[in-house]
Amino acid sequence: MKNLLSKCLFAFFLMISISSYSHSPNQSYVYVRVYENNGIEGRYEINVKELNKIFNLNLPKNATVEDVKPYANQIQAYILKNAGFSSEINKHDIIFKDLDVIDIVSGNYILFKFDLSNTKVLPEHLKVYYNIGFEQDNDHKGFLIIEYNWKAGVINEEANIVLDFGPNDTIGDLNLSEANLFTGFIAMIKQGVWHIWIGIDHILFLLALILPSVVRRRKNSNNAYSIYGWEPVMTFKAAFIYIIKVITFFTIAHTITLTLASLEIVMLPSRIVESLIAFSIGLAAFHNIKPIFKMKDWVIAFIFGLFHGFGFASVLSDLGLTGEFLTLSLLGFNIGVEIGQLVIIICIFPVLYLIRKLKLYPKLLVFTSILLIIISLYWFIERAFDVDFYPDEYIKWKLYEFAVWLGLK
């Protein structure tokens, strides 16, 4: 019997795991990116099923860009006739660029990318006309999503719906005047906090650095360090100074490379960076078992902190940031990363300090470090050799199939 509790629990985890499938087949979307100095760009996303319905085509559910290209001019002409933008400044023409596709369980969406003319000077209000697919389907819905607007505090959002359209509601007003530098700066701080919290590799590296903060190595009778030869620190001050020193060097290091990479002064291939970040976890954990830099734990924090900075820079790049407000973006994002780190330390460090005198702690330290080494090697092989042991899309597809079986889809 499929009980209600199991369905509710699964629905919760499914919502998180397959959020990329949130597009509904009878919905189409227009995404807008607003740049202070470079105008407005965007894209229309229309499901292949809707294209078949509107134009009486026979495209497969998993249609590719090449499948759609023969009909591109026809579809774009339809969009120009049934959608548009205007403002108090001028009429804003849709200038189509390239096509793309996103492949999700509910069917492929074709992306019609465009630039919006006459937007170098941003209007305070945009009048948006949207009448796509309504004649063929009364239940069809259209949504306008602000994906990027730095001064409004919107950084690479995919769920920031500000307008919705239906058969009897085809015109909307997009307000671009409610934006300021402070809002954008706060948004970048939030992005920094969020990306350190979801960056499990950064968190595990911090864990490897923090584990020995509440104990000190003890030499055995042969004047050598033993694997389990740890003794608890006697004062909170000693442990706290260790934390401050290690985290300070880590912060200095990743701040340097985050800035250099964001300014495009020093660039490294992401594959190398991500591989070294994975490797850093294992090396820091191995150092807990057998010291590499005796009494100089900060060296690992600094050296590999440089590569973690390059990783943070790739996050900024993925957020779609351009040169606008780059100084404030860097400052805000870095502050957010430090706040995120501080919260992680506040959650972990007091617990470690409280249990430091337990005889179990040295074994906990070693066994946790071994686990971190295993995880590190797993990620390193995946990233360095471009091996995907468990493809995300395959897992998501199986979750979707299970949801169908449960009757949730």
Q: Are strands 27-35 and 141-149 parallel, antiparallel or unpaired?
A: parallel
The model scores a pTM over 0.75: no
53 close to 62: Cβ distance less than 8 angstroms: no
Residue 255 near residue 262 (C-beta atoms within 8 A): no
Q: At what angle do helices 297-318 and 326-355 cross, to 10 degrees?
A: 140
What's residue 149's pLDDT? 92
Q: Is 224 helix (H, G, I), strand (E, B) or coil?
A: coil
Q: Is the pLDDT of residue 405 over 70?
A: no
240 alpha-carbon distance from chain centroid: 31
Tell which wins on pLDDT, 182 or 356. 356
pLDDT per residue as tens digits for the range 297-347? 889 999 999 999 999 988 887 776 656 688 888 999 999 999 999 999 999
Strand partners, 169: 166
Range with the poorest average pLDDT among 168-172, 295-299, 312-316, 394-398: 394-398
pLDDT in tens, 243-280: 999 999 999 999 999 999 988 899 899 899 999 999 99
pLDDT digits over 20-48, tens only? Answer: 334 566 789 999 999 988 899 999 999 99
What average pLDDT does this structure show over 100-119? Answer: 90
pLDDT tier for residue 7 given thresholds of 50, 70 and 90 = very low
CA distance 203 to 195: 10
Confidence grade of residue 295 (pLDDT, cut at 50, 70, 90): low
The answer on pLDDT for 240 being more than 80 is: yes
Q: Which two tokens stand for residue 21?
A: 């499938």
Q: 52 with 134: CB under 8 angstroms? A: no
Q: Look at residue 185 and tell me whether its pLDDT is greater than 80.
A: yes
280 burial level (CB within 10 Å; 0-12, 13-18, 19+):
buried
DSSP string, 19-61: GGG---TTEEEEEEEEETTTEEEEEEEEEHHHHHHHHT----T
